[in-house]
Chain A
Amino acid sequence: MAAVNIEDRAGFKPLSDAEAGRVVHAAKRRDFLFAILGVFVLVLSMGMLTALIVDLLIDGLTRINYDFLTSFPSRRPAQAGILSAWVGTSLVMLTTALIAIPLGIMAGIYLEEYAPKNWITDIIEINVSNLAGVPSIIYGLLALGLFVYTLGLGRTVLTAGLVLALLILPVVIVATREAVRSIPLIIREGAYGMGADKWQVIWHYILPAARPGILTGAIVGLSRAIGETAPVLTIGALTFIAFLPPSPIQPEFPFLNFDWLTSPFTVMPIQMFNWISRPQEAFHINAAATGLVLIAMTLTMNAVAIWIRYRLRSQARS
């Protein structure tokens, strides 16, 4: 190739001041238009959410008081409360968390670290993701057939905990895998390079670093489970419960009691569903109040997760 004379740059000149100004102006306009669009979309979606919550607040806030939280349901709306519903929800969520979180973490770690990379693993992986999209009522039907009839577990807290655990298991598995996969390669190689075995690498180096991600997945899953109505309805949770399950804690040895697992129960979404379908206006207000308590429980759960994540992060940093 012949040497190019640097003087021969045909047609290309440095931008003039005016031209540079035009380029910058166009860029700024694009940014401005996109920012406007972003604000609009944000206001629209946040506005709708706020409206929903404000509506609930206006309807339900007056109804929330000590009596509402400590009374059983009643035929008379003014005396009805949600004691059995929130206790039921708490116990079912406890069961769900105790089943889904350990199982999900173990399955996620197995798939990510131990499973051989072959077509069977591929099929399992694809199906785990697909399971997250299966409508929840299908899980309800499965639970009705398997847990209630075949295994004879009845319409109990345990059955509800199991079905909700199944429902959120894919979420926990996927979150665990993502969290484990996001650990930088150099940390992994550093740990293996010292002579650590697989179990030590996973237990001492990968799991601690993956904890925030796994926790987020678990909370997202539980937040979904707490509001689920269809599968719990399908297994036949009762809508009118005027007693509490036995307490999980007792004063005598061994201090823990698992009789509550086999107790009939109701949960808050079902209580809401039940009240909403009554004709009396007063029950609708009760339902709104229950909704507020449900939202408060979900937000509390999220807040605790954020706090734990913050603690873990500052532990790793400071």
Chain B
Amino acid sequence: MKPLARIAALFAAAALGLMPLSSHVEPQTSARDAGTEFMVSTGETGRPGGRLVVSLRAEPKTLNPVTFADTSSKLVIWRMMADLIHINRYTQQPEPALAKSWTVSPDGRKYTLKLRHGLRFSDGLPLTADDVVFSFQVYLDESVHAPQRDLLIVAGKPITIRRLDTETVQFELAAPYGPGLRLFDGFAILPRHLLEGPYRAGKFEQVWSPTSPATEIAGAGPFRLKEYVPGQRLVLDRNPFYWKQDQKGTRLPYLNELVFLFIPNEDAQVLRFQSGDIDMISRVSALNFSMLQGKPATAGYNLADAGPSLEWSFLFFNLNDLSKKNLPQIAGKQKWFSNNVFRRAVSLAVDREGIVRLIYQGRATPIWSPVTPGNKQWFDQRLPHPARSLDQARQLLRNAGFSWNSEATLVDAEKQPIEFSIVVSSSNAERSKISTIIQDDLRQLGMRVTVVPLESRALLSRVLDSSDYEACVLGLASGDADPNADSNVWLSDGSTHLWNLHRDSPPSSWEAEIDALMREQLTARTFAERKKAFDRVQELLAENQPVIFLVSPHVLIGVKKELGNFKPAVMDPVDLWNVEEFFWKAR
């Protein structure tokens, strides 16, 4: 679009009341942009204008990119923010963002990043190395309580950051870092001119709530805050200073507005999608997805099944050291749970295909490892996928000293019947149903299983604090395709090593091997070495089944057909990761 035409369009939009001209500075001429080193989008060239309406199940709690803790806030914040190097959600690979290029020192400990020239925050003020240094100072400050801070501790030491010139910064790590450039993803660059004051005053955690005036919030993402109506909606409008453009030189984003409606209930979301109130619906349950698919009313929609997500659901038994807790009944059952033959038999009896068919109507994939087939780089195809076999399961149990009494109940060597309960979060319908299937599968082995649905905090306090549970079905969604993000799940002293928490040393040799492999992948320099280490971790998990992997639900998204450049990914945010490229085709 010609500059003049663009200004005319802006005025037209303003006259229609779509954009407030008052609070934000608009770029005046393209001459000023001439120096900007744009990133050029590889997507289809589209047309500017229009708004996209999406829905959120919960309201964003804050717009503070450092302290947020919930997914709704994250989704909104990251439409307004940008990081130095970004993981492309589709390719799952790091790519330049605010940093246009970088060099890594031969010892793998120094990263020198070069910023794009001419970067501006959404309030029009320039973004320089000082902002970058300030941002990381905030993330690393313990008094701010940034959840991301832990990612900046490498080999036990916080990384250090140095400004080399206004457009160059250097990061120094205490040790080489396997995931490499992925380190920089997820650290939004903050405007020092707006936030240094509150930070110095110790009020950083209170800044940038959704109710803050739009002029006080600025980021380098494609959109900026326009309006927040409590309980109803949050509206973002286009950041006129964004640093991406399309192949014809039009500055992105194409959309003028991005509207988040707060609709707390999935069914209401589905109905409002059907009636056309919202343009896109993601995280649809498989049953609702099938329903939408069968409807002629949704002929104008594109219902995308992007395949297995990075989420994996699993069954685990309580293997915690209960000697200091007064839980004799559970401790008595641990002789079964800690027997890996028992766990393997359970795994063999679970009808993963049945779960996929009955609960997900075919829209999930059975898994035998935490790396789902949706993870392009790390999925290990050589891992065995033993088919369900009750006979083999019985054989294993028999060899391990279990037997069946006259009522066909499975009993152990001391003739004690095998009975246990599975706790599951009641707020997750699909996982509750998975437990019902498992219960029925294990009944066929003669085990008496009860399913105990618990409200999610009650469940977490049992699993994380009191260890008062026998077995549990849970799901975790990997934050990144790189397995290092889930280290704390596999390290035997990790904070999310759910089935066996607070161990000072690995209880067995294979667990010690996993610990060593996880440390190896963290510092290994090449991808091949890291992959080899993590493949071995997966083999050990498959052999010993500390957790029994079940299924990975697919990413299901419905969207209006006219939305251009829509490209669902399996990494979060699956739907809006490239929202700056979205545009409305003629309709």
Indicate whether A and B interact: no
A residues at B contact (CB < 8 Å)? none
